[in-house]
């Protein structure tokens, strides 16, 4: 398992949050998705054998949100 922390640009509408939350959570192997609306951050745990941090970043980019920074940490 690994943990991804993605820094996005400024989020303004609470519905963006729901959108991102659902889209990321729908990826295979992803659990515990947390979108921090005010900080513009997404945190998610994921299974590296099924999905990568870049995949998550792409999902968010495809929704139309800029991903400024991606950080992946092994959590054993």
> What values do phi and psi take at 55, rounded to 5?
-60, -45
Please give the size of the binding site for another protein, defined by CB under 8 A.
24
Give rounded-to-5 percent helix, strand, coil for the chain.
30, 35, 35
**If residue 64 lies in a helix (H) or strand (E), which one and from where to where?**
none
Site string for another protein, 3-42 (x = CB under 8 A): --x----x-xxxx--xx--xx--x---------xxxx-x-
Report phi then psi at 70, rounded to 5. -120, 130
Smallest distance, another protein to C-beta of residue 10, A: 5
Binding status of residue 76 toward another protein by CB under 8 A:
no
Judged by the rule CB under 8 A, the positions of this chain that interact with another protein are: 5, 10, 12-15, 18-19, 22-23, 26, 36-39, 41, 61-66, 71, 73
């Amino acid at each position: 398992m690994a943990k991804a922390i993605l820094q996005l640009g400024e989020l303004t509408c609470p519905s963006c949050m729901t959108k991102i939350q659902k889209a990321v959570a729908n990826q295979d192997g992803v659990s515990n998705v947390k979108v921090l609306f005010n900080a513009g951050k997404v945190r998610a745990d994921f299974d590296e054998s099924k999905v990568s941090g870049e995949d998550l970043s792409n999902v968010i980019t495809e929704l139309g949100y800029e991903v400024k920074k991606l950080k992946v940490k092994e959590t054993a």
